[in-house]
Structure formats: C-alpha cells, structure tokens
Structure 1
Amino acid sequence: MINGSKRLSRPLRWAMVGGGVNSQIGYIHRSAALRDQSFVLVAGAFDLDPARGQAFGETLGVAPERCYADYQSLIAGEAGREDGVEAISVATPNGTHFAITKAALEAGLHVVCEKPLCFTLAEAEILREIAQAHNRIVGVTYGYAGHQLIEQAREMIAAGQLGEIRMVHMQFAHGFHSAPVEAQSEATQWRVDPRLAGPSYVLGDVGTHPLYIAETLLPGLRIKRLQCNRQSFVKSRAPLEDNAYTLMEYEGGAMGWVWSSAVNAGSMHGQKVRVIGSLASLEWWDERPNQLSFEVQGQPAQVLERGMGYLHANALLDDRIGAGHPEGLFEAWSNLYYRFALAMDAANRGDTAALAQIRYPDIHAGIEGVRWVERCVESADRGGVWIDY
C-alpha cells in the first residue's frame, strides 16, 4: 500500500447522501473514498436544503444535474443513466439509515452506512435479506478498525501469546458533552433526540466502536448475556443516556466490560481496548494509534510501533508511510474504504473466493452493533438485569 498503486481496474461510481457543508463526518468519508482511486464522486444528495446541497456539491466537482434534492430522486435519477452510481454512502442522522439503505439495496446499489445501521434488530435483518438477495455489499463505518495495529493484536491473540482470554475491557468515554452543548450545536441536537437518534445515545454512538474492535480481535468470543446501567447526567437528554456501563459474560467464562460516555470531563477521546489473558495483556488506545502495549507477566512492558519489521505481515499491509511517521484516523478510514471497494468489485464479478478473503465491517457487524444496543437498552430499562444475548 505504501506505493499507492491502484487496487481496482477502474474506480466505482459513487454518491453521498448527507455529508454536506455542515456535516461533522462528510469530509472524512470523501477523503477516505477518493484516496486510493477506488471510488469517484459523481452524484449526491448532500443536504436537507436542496439549494445549499447543490451549491456544495458543485464545489466538490459534481455536475449540477447530479446534485439531487433527496435520496429518492438520487436513486431514481441515477438508475436512468448508463453511467449511474454503483454505490452510495449514507452520512445522515440515525433515524434515516434504514430507509435510505433499504432503498439503495433494492435499487441494486452497494452501501456504506454510518453506524448504527438502523434502530432495531428486526430492521437490520430485513437489510441483510435484501443485501443477500441482490448480492450487494453493506459496509459500516467502524473507522477505528482500519488502524494497522488492530491487525497485529488480532494475530498475537490468535497465536496464543496472551494465553487463555479472561477479560476484555473496552471504553469510549470522552468529555465533550459534559455540558448541554446541544443547545448551541445543531450537529449534536439530533444525537440526543430519540426520534432521530433511536433508543440510545452513547451506547450506539460511541460504545459500538470498541465493541467492534474487540469482535475483530477475538472473532471466536461470543457474548452469552449482559447487564447494563445507563444514566442521563445532563437531565434534558433523558430518556437517552450520556453515560452507560455494560457488563458482559462470554461463552466459556470470560468477562467483558464497556464504558460508553460523553461526559468524561477532561477526556479528549478515551477509547481503549484491553485484552487480558492468563499469560499477558494487550492494550490499544486510539489517541496513540501507532502504538500497541504488550505486557507479559513477569517481564518488562513492551510498546510495539506501527510499521516495524517485527510485526506480523498483516499489520504491515495497510501502511501508507514508513515507520516513525504517525498515521491517523484518515488513514484508518481509507483502509476501510478500499476494502469496501474490493468487496464491491468482487461481488460485481461474482468472485466469492476473493470476497471471502476481504475482512471489513460488513452487514453482520452492523447487525451485531444493533443487537448489542437493543439488549443494553432492554437491560437498563428493566433495572439493570441480566439479559440473554
């Protein structure tokens, strides 16, 4: 990957729904998708305000007639073109994800969707059925999973270097919403509105990120049951939580814990995943994504660095510059977007063997995120009882 060579014979024609001028995440979607010549942006419905959306789309180089008022007109308009879009990214508030993704899949388009994929497990299963019926790819933007040292940790765990896995500690606990900032921030308002955000705030918004990383590191670990407590420390956010603790029991006896929070005052990001085994522990912190802590009982602690030759080959595949130069979230998202493109291309060609070799946050990962949030909310709303997963 360091040399930036093309991975596909041609870029996929791509559109965005959402991601307009005031979007918090629109630019990182575009930067990631366009970076490796895997996608080319040809259309979009960028904004609830059609005029503002068209003006913004034109600044991105999209033809005026392909800047649409809404996702329905985008899908219909592109379906009538020989050069119509092949994939769309959904970068809109949570409450719209299901309808947009469903419509795109039914139109034969591949989809990259923000998390959560939808509100309910029943909706998620519908999306899976449609995607499978149309042989379409659904990617979910668990962007932190694109960091290379996640691959290193996965390989070390699989090789038995940690011994028997006993505990998994996960957290994503920042402090930027420790006050009611939504009063001044339009981008935050919908996140604390149940009509737009769904049944949870921080469980779905931040908690599912380290959960997916843990699932990547430990693909054989299955949740047996969980117990959740959630709080609304900023009272106006109720019934949605701005802090939650989830305790999980895995099949086989290992235990897991997730702290999801937007009110960890003073914390910049606070996303960490620590896997503890009978012999050693690993810890990854997204504020220092180029380092992986490896601590063997009775030995000096080690810090493994991105890009070094002592790492597993899979941890070096996605490097974009040599060791010593820090890489960040834009690189991680780019790694996922080119995997999305490879998967879409393989699906288009009917190459099931190639598709099986590409690991990325797919429809199944999206479903598990929805399942986890649904179970957490059920447990919390029933007084923090244990819920079978």
Structure 2
Amino acid sequence: MINGENLVPAPIRWGMVGGGRGSQIGYIHRSAALRDGVFTLVAGAFDLDAERGRAFGTGIGVAAERCYADYQAMFAAEAQRPDGLQAVSIATPNGTHFAICKAALEAGLHVVCEKPLCFTTAEAEELRELAEAKRRVVGVTYGYAGHQLIEQAREMIAAGELGEIRIVQMQFAHGFHNEAVEAANPATKWRVDPKMAGPSYVLGDIGTHPLYLSEVMLPQLKIRRLMCSRQSFVKSRAPLEDNAFTLMEYDSGAVGCVWSCAVNAGSMHGQKIRVIGSKASLEWWDERPNQMSFEVQGKPLQVLERGMGYLHPHALADDRIGGGHPEGLFEAWSNLYVRYARAMVASDRGDTAALAALHYPGIDAGVEGVRWVEHCVRSADAGAVWVDYA
C-alpha cells in the first residue's frame, strides 16, 4: 500500500503542453503527476494564447519566466537551464500530438502523451524508433489501466482461473453526444473535425481505452483479423463516426468485440470489459470500479472488492486507502504516473531489468492503438469487411 514514502530518488522536473484553464484533462494530469511527489511542475506552454497561459501558469505556482508561448520556445529555453525539464505531458488536441511528441523526444525529454499518439501507424513507428534511439520513455494515458482490479484480473487470467479464454467483450459507450453538442462546445468540436481528430472519432477517442484494458489483462492474445462497421448518427459528424462495432478474431481462436459509442442515450460512461473463459468469467465496469464480478460456472456469483487481503499482491501494491473506501479515476491515473516516473528513472540510469519489470501503457500501446484504429477505418470504409491485422 502506498504510504507517502519517496518512490523515486528526486522528483522529476516536469512540464505540460496544453492543459490550461478550463481543461478537465489537464487538471487530471496534474493531480495524478503531483500526488505522490514523483514529479514537480516547473514549466508549461499551457495555452495558445500566451498571456492567458502565463496567467494560468502563475496561478498554479509556475514561475512567470517558465510559462512559455509555445512548446518550441519551452523546449529550447529549458534545454539551456541546469534545472531544465526532464519530462513533459502533452494534453492538446489529437492533430498536434505527433509533432509535439517528436519535438520532445528530439529534445531528450521523456513524454506522457494523450491518446491517440498520432494518426498513422507509420508516424507511430517513427516515434517508437526515436524513443528507442533516445532511450526515452513514452507513456500513453489509458488512465483506468492503473486501477488495481485491472491488475487483479491480469493475475487471475495468468493463473488459469478462467480456463481457456474464449470471448472478450468490450465497450465504451456513453450518451453525452447523442445530439450535436459540438455546436456550442469547443472541447467537443475539435473531436469531430477530421483535421484535428484524425481518421476517426469514437474509435480513437474512446474505443482504444477498453481495447488497452484487454491488452493488460490478456497480453498473450494477438488479433488475427477484424471487421468494423461505423455510423454517423449525428449527420454533421460525417465522415467521422459517433458509433462503431468492431469484431475481432485472435490467433488463439478466441473472439472479441468492441462497441465504441458517444450516442448511447442515457448512459453515463459505459466502459466495461468482460472476459469469458472455459471455466469462469470476470467483468469490470469503470462506473463501479471498486468491484469486479467473478463468475465460476455452477457456483454463486462472487464480487471481488478492491483493497482486500484476498487480492493478488501486485493488485494490492496499487492500493491507496484500504478496503471499503471508494477509489477511481484519480487513483488509477496516479498509479500510472508513479509507473511512468519509475520507468523514466530506470531509463536514465540504464537499468534494463527494472524497466522490464514495469508494465504501463507505453510507446507500444500507443502504436497498437493507432494501428487498431487504422484497421477499423479501413474495414468500415470498405463496407465492413474482414481485414487481416498485419
């Protein structure tokens, strides 16, 4: 259980691109990164409007001279300082991620980037090669992957408690965009603009979240081929989809499906994952994150509670306040930022064994998310046909 002891030798000097005033995701990044003392916020290019960004930055404690007009100026100036940046988080619209991430890596910085990492697999592979050449860590914020019950599911599946894995059912299907809310909401407007959002809306914006949870729980499963159908129920969003169904076949013979949706009217969040094996099934829902259902054929339903001593030690290592109290998004994100920090420290000292022992949504997860969206779009645009996952 985390108890406030130092988790890294010294806090990592950290900055942000984007995430300024009014940015919900920016606040989540800062809350997670600063919670355990593993990062300290020293600089930022928080806003396209330099004055507004400076006012915001100084308001959260960043020195005025380290609140920059843009990321290029920040990376150049910080490189000249003996106490300059070591890492940066990118909390900007999708269309900017590739350029900022590439510039950060070229400046020798570790990176935590919002997903999608970029728009094409070719771009993602370029970033992976650059990260490997620079020996820099790239984290991708699939936030709920840091919840301890995801770790518990991973351990139970690896131990064979579910038997042979047959079906993986995933969804992220909320209802908040069941109408053209983007007309009055700038934070939504860019998400349905192909120039800023890329080749998809809900596939890349939310569908990759449960997909990554499945990769954490089931690292041995590899997609063989997939088929995707996507729709724009709010017609003004075309060619981008606000609903999509993706079917997948895995090399092992298992099958999976992902429902990605922003028009599931009445649904609050709707991110769920159910893994079905030959002996038992488990299910986790992010609106009720402190419980996971475990259903053994022929036995009564079990509900596993976070923070309890019967969980796997790796799951309990992520526990923060003991059983009974609710934990959720902020705790999961904080766990990820701790893992990012440990990976960055290990990378800086060349400790490959420590790096190999850590698992977190990194550059490979970013590449895979982009590759999955690219294949889904290709399938859907060809008339919902099966495409090989190569």
- TM-score w.r.t. the length of structure 2 is 0.99
Q: Which amino acid aligns with 1:294?
A: F
- What secondary structure does 2:23 align onto? coil
Partners of 1:143 and 1:336 within 8 A in 2? yes
Q: CA deviation at 1:109?
A: 0.3
Question: SS where residue 27 of structure 2 aligns?
Answer: helix
Q: Offset of 1:2 from its aligned partner?
A: 3.1
Aligned to 1:273: 273
- Between the aligned partners of 1:320 and 1:103, the Cα distance in structure 2 is 35
1:215 aligns with 2:181: no
Please name the residue that 1:118 is paired with: 118
1:345 aligns with 2:345: yes
* Structure 1 segment 120-135 matched on structure 2, within 5 A: 120-135=120-135
Residue 180 of structure 1 is matched in structure 2 by 180
Other-structure match for 1:199: 199
Residue aligning to 1:375: 375
Q: CA deviation digits over 1:93-150, x for unaligned, max 9?
A: 0000000000000110000000000000000000001100010000000001010000
- Alignment of 1:365 onto 2:348: no
Tell me the alpha carbon deviations over residues 242-295 of structure 1, each in whole angstroms, 9 at most, x when there is no partner: 000000000021000000000000000000000000110000000011101000
Find the counterpart in structure 1 of residue 147 from structure 2: 147
Matching residue of 1:25: 25
CA distance, structure 2, for counterparts of residue 7 and residue 250 of structure 1: 38
The equivalent of 1:106 in structure 2 is 106
SS in 2 for 1:98: helix
Q: Deviations over 1:208-241 (max 9, x none)?
A: 0000000000000000000000000000000000
Residue 64 of structure 1 corresponds to which residue in structure 2? 64
Which runs of structure 1 show a deviation greater than 6 angstroms over 4 or more consecutive aligned residues?
none
**Secondary structure of 2:24's aligned partner:** coil
Q: Does 1:74 align with 2:74?
A: yes
Report if aligned partners of 1:136, 1:344 keep a CA contact under 8 Å in 2.
yes
The one-letter code matched in structure 2 to 1:4 is: G
Corresponding position: 1:308 with 2:308: yes
- Taking the TM superposition and a 5 Å limit, the aligned residue runs for 1:147-166 are 147-166=147-166
Cα shift readout 1:324-383 (whole Å, capped 9, x = no counterpart): 001110000000001000000000011111111111001000000000000000000000
SS in 2 for 1:42: strand
Using structure 1 for the length normalisation, give the TM-score: 0.99
Q: CA deviation at 1:154?
A: 0.6
Question: Is 1:14 the counterpart of 2:14 in the alignment?
Answer: yes
- Secondary structure of 1:36's aligned partner: coil
Partner SS, residue 25 of structure 1: helix
Which residue number corresponds to residue 190 of structure 1? Answer: 190
State the distance in 2 between where 1:218 and 1:359 align. Answer: 13
- Secondary structure, counterpart of 1:321 in structure 2: coil
Instruction: Report the CA distance between 1:320 and its aligned residue.
Output: 0.7
Q: What's the CA shift for 1:51?
A: 0.5
In 2: Cα distance, 1:132 partner to 1:106 partner? 11
**Is the Cα contact below 8 Å between 1:175 and 1:263 reproduced in 2?**
yes
Alignment RMSD (CA, Å): 0.5
**Deviation digits for residues 10-56 of structure 1, max 9, x if unmatched?**
00000000000021200000000001110000000000111100000
Whether 1:258 and 2:269 are equivalent positions in the alignment is no
Distance in 1 separating the partners of 2:351 and 2:326: 35
Structure 1 residues 142-196: Cα deviation after superposition (integer angstroms, max 9, x where no partner): 0010100001111110111111100000000000000110011010000000000
Q: CA deviation at 1:5?
A: 1.1
Q: Report the Cα distance in structure 2 between the residues aligned to 1:252 and 1:149, rounded to whole angstroms.
A: 25
Structure-1 separation of matches of 2:195 and 2:67: 27
The answer as to whether partners of 1:24 and 1:187 remain within 8 angstroms in 2 is: no
Q: Equivalents in 1 of 2:84, 2:308: separation in Å?
A: 43
- Distance, in Å, in 1 between the alignment partners of 2:262 and 2:283 is 21
Are 1:163 and 1:278, in contact at CA under 8 Å, matched by a contact in 2?
Answer: yes
Matched, 1:92 2:71: no
Structure 1: state its 5+ residue gaps: none
Identity of aligned residues (%): 76
Structure 2 unaligned segments of length 5 or more: list them: none
Question: d(CA) in 2 for partners of 1:44 and 1:385?
Answer: 45
Q: 335-344 or 19-28: which moved more?
A: 19-28
CA–CA separation in structure 2 for the residues paired with 1:75 and 1:366: 23
| Distance in 1 (alpha carbons) for counterparts of 2:191 and 2:381 | 19
Q: Which amino acid aligns with 2:23?
A: S
